[in-house]
Every structure is written in structure tokens, then in C-alpha cells.
Amino acid sequence: MEWLSGGQALAIILLSGCLMAHLVWDWRELILPDLINALIWLIGMVVALTAPLPGCSWTQAWQGSLLALATAWGFYELVWRLRGEEGFGFGDVKLFAACGAWLGPAKLTGMVLVGSLSSLIMMAAIALISRQFHFRMAMPFGPGLIVGFLVMLLWPDWLPMLMTRLL
């Protein structure tokens, strides 16, 4: 990531505080508070308007936020209708939309990929350590989404580079 302006650096510090609060809260309570999701989204939109990060203009921030919201909400509804229960919480949907304001639409796929893989690794580690596993086991998805978000925010080019090397 290139050097940040003063406003961008302050926004990243505020973002870091919000993400840390989310990690602790979701891990303990299995909930992602709406206020923190709203702050993450609002800070991302202010950054996109005043001092955009590379690859995420004001328009891309809106597009990323709306695409993330529509995709996650659609998946949430699909799981609800097929299973009659939540596959993940609606706070995860809102967190994904808030992160879309920071990343834009192009980086959302990488965020979901890394977030899902890191969540699976966390679940496997917990199952191994506790020696208990069942398919209905409740586990926070927010920490995995946050890992995916941070990877795409800090190293946005890793996925295209990996794909070029594999192909």
C-alpha cells in the first residue's frame, strides 16, 4: 500500500478500532453491532469522497457497498429459505456492505474467498483444540470477514498475481 495522507491515516486508525471491537464482540456474543457496522461504512464513504484510497473512488465505494449488500442479503435469504435458519447473521451482511465501501466491487470476491477460508481454518482449530465438533456448531463469521477485508485492503493485488501464476 502506498503512503497514506493524514486523513486516510486517521480513517485507518478509526477503522482499526472498529474492527478490533467487532472481533471481540463477535467472538464473545456472536453478534456484530449495527453502530460499529454503520461507523465502518460511514468512515469508508467519507474516505472515498474526500481522499480515496487507490482503486476505490466515490462511485466504486457505492457500487461495492450495494453489491456486497445485495449479494450477502441474497445468500442470507437463500439459506433461510432452504434450511429455515440463519446460515450467518444479518450483522455479517451489514459488515460485508460496510467493507464494500472501502474496497469497491472489484475486491469483494477476494474478501469472501479469504474470509471463508480463514473461518474454516478457525473452526477446524477450535474443533481440534476442544475435541468437539458438530455441523450445527455456532461460530462467528465476522472475524473471518475481517481477515478477508484486511487482506484485500492491504494487499489488493495478491489474487490477480496468484491467478496469473496458476494459469
Q: Which residue has the cell 462511485?
A: 59
pTM of the model: 0.87
Task: Name the stretches of the chain with pLDDT < 70.
Answer: 1-4, 133-137
Domain ranges (residues) in the chain: 6-166
> Long-range contacts: 18-25, Cβ < 8 Å, 24+?
18/43, 19/146, 19/149, 19/150, 22/95, 22/142, 22/146, 23/142, 23/143, 23/146
Residues contacting 123, CB < 8 A, separation 6+:
137, 139
Q: State CA 32 to chain mean position distance.
A: 12
Output the pLDDT for position 135.
65
Pairwise CA distance, residues 146 & 150, whole Å? 6
